[in-house]
């Protein structure tokens, strides 16, 4: 790791401080207008910021206690796709509300029969003049009940079965098209999926003769698979490490703050678990810093960037399990925190952490990807 951020007199740092002095609690539209919501995006949506500039902005925002309004699907998936493949009209229609945080987005990709094998989707979009008629079902759609817009992939080419029969399934990737879908369109039904945490984040979404204008199609017919993968190339540097629940929730250090505040731990087995958890947290921090250092130096991140998700997900579960065990019998209560510290977030985090090694690709799938694509090991035998 080898990078030093510019000092106090850097004009980019001064510009951020001047903005924060004028807007000490900036709104989403103010951040969007200034290019600070997604500074790495090209103008006028961002600042075209290089990695160093992004790090400066994040550092100043963190020091000022400023957080951007959340819009993870919009900023991480929809926006980059529209910038790369959307028409100018589509960009003008959707990017303003997206960048300001006023329009929340969701992702309509996964289906009951198409999880890890996303190209096996069966939701169909059929052309009817200047419109597309969509029928099918999506699942695990985060924030669908709040979102104004969704990014949707649907089958416009041969069915998965027909593609498999004709060429072994390769054409199933070319039979997918990418759309923007208004979540209040007639024929859309959203059913909640209540998590064991008691929260409602996920949903099932059903499409019954939903009509989308052809103007809501992004890219060419059949190009949807390549567009769906654009987000993988949309790297963003951030100096803030985020919490252990996919960047949310408590940090690893939060648990140790609780232990210190309670006077420490005497039990030798628990002390060893704490030491191991701290080591894992440090390893993850160093992996992240190596990745940032590579990007700042203009290099592509190495295999450590791919390894990080697997390690981070299991570490998040370890942190939450340790916090629950430190609570002792009080851990059975929703407000029972470690060592008698009554903090409800630990109970919620413990339940939510079960999802870490499932969402975004299971730990097993991730290990296969690492072995085959990063380490160059032989591919897993096909059972089809």
Query: What is the distance of C-alpha 62 from the center of its chain?
Result: 20
> Which residue is catalytic, options 126, 161, 235, 282?
235
Tokens at 358, concatenated:
């499932």
Residue 169: Cβ within 10 Å count? 18
Residue 364: Cβ within 10 Å count? 12
Residue 219: Cβ within 10 Å count? 18
Residue 28: Cβ within 10 Å count? 18
Separation CA 251–CA 384 (nearest Å) = 43
Tokens at 207, concatenated:
């499409």
Q: Are 68 and 219 in contact (CB under 8 A)?
A: no
- By C-alpha distance, which of 35, 176, 20 is closest to 108? 176
Q: Assign residue 50 a region: left if phi > 0, alpha if psi is -120 to 50, beta otherwise? A: beta
Separation CA 356–CA 144 (nearest Å) = 20
Separation CA 151–CA 374 (nearest Å) = 29
Separation CA 299–CA 105 (nearest Å) = 32
**Dihedral sign from CA coordinates of 181, 185, 189, 195:** positive
Q: Are 284 and 216 in contact (CB under 8 A)?
A: no
Catalytic status, residue 321: no
Q: What are the beta bridge partners of residue 134?
A: 125, 210
Residue 254 exposure: Cα atoms within 13 Å on the Cβ side = 20
Q: Are 147 and 220 in contact (CB under 8 A)?
A: no
Instruction: Give the number of residues written for the chain.
Output: 384
Q: Which residues are catalytic?
A: 235
């Amino acid at each position: 790791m080898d990078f030093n951020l510019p000092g106090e007199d850097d004009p980019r740092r001064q510009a951020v401080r001047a903005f924060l002095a004028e807007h000490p609690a900036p709104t989403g539209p103010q951040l969007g207008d200034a290019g600070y919501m997604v500074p790495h995006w090209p103008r006028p949506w961002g600042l075209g910021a290089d990695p160093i500039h992004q790090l400066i902005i994040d550092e100043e925002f963190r020091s000022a206690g400023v957080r951007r309004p959340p819009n993870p699907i919009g900023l991480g998936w929809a926006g980059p796709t529209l910038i790369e493949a959307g028409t100018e009209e589509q960009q003008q229609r959707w990017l303003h509300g997206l960048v300001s945080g006023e329009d929340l987005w969701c992702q309509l990709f996964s289906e009951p029969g198409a999880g890890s094998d996303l190209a096996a989707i069966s939701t169909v979009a059929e052309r009817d003049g200047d419109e597309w008629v969509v029928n099918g079902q999506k699942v695990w759609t985060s924030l669908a009940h709040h979102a104004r817009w969704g990014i949707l992939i649907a089958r416009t080419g041969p069915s998965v079965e027909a593609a498999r029969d004709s060429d072994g399934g390769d054409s199933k990737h070319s039979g997918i098209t990418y759309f923007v879908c208004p979540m209040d369109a007639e024929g859309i039904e959203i059913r909640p999926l209540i998590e064991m945490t008691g929260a409602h984040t996920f949903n099932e979404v059903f499409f019954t003769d939903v009509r989308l204008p052809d103007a809501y199609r992004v890219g060419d017919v059949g190009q949807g698979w390549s567009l769906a993968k654009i987000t993988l190339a949309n790297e963003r540097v951030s100096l803030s490490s985020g919490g252990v629940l996919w960047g949310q929730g408590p940090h690893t250090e939060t648990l140790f703050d609780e232990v210190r505040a309670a006077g420490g731990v005497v039990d030798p087995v628990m002390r060893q678990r704490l030491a191991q958890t701290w080591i894992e947290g440090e390893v993850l921090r160093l992996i992240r810093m190596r990745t940032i250092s590579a990007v700042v130096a203009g290099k592509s991140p190495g295999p450590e960037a791919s390894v990080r998700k697997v390690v981070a997900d299991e570490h998040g579960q370890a942190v939450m399990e340790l916090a629950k065990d430190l609570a002792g019998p009080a851990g059975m209560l929703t407000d029972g925190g470690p060592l008698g510290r009554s903090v409800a977030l630990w109970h919620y985090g413990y339940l939510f952490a079960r999802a870490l090694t499932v969402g975004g690709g299971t730990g097993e799938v991730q290990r296969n990807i690492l072995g085959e694509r990063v380490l160059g090991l032989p591919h897993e035998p096909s059972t089809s």
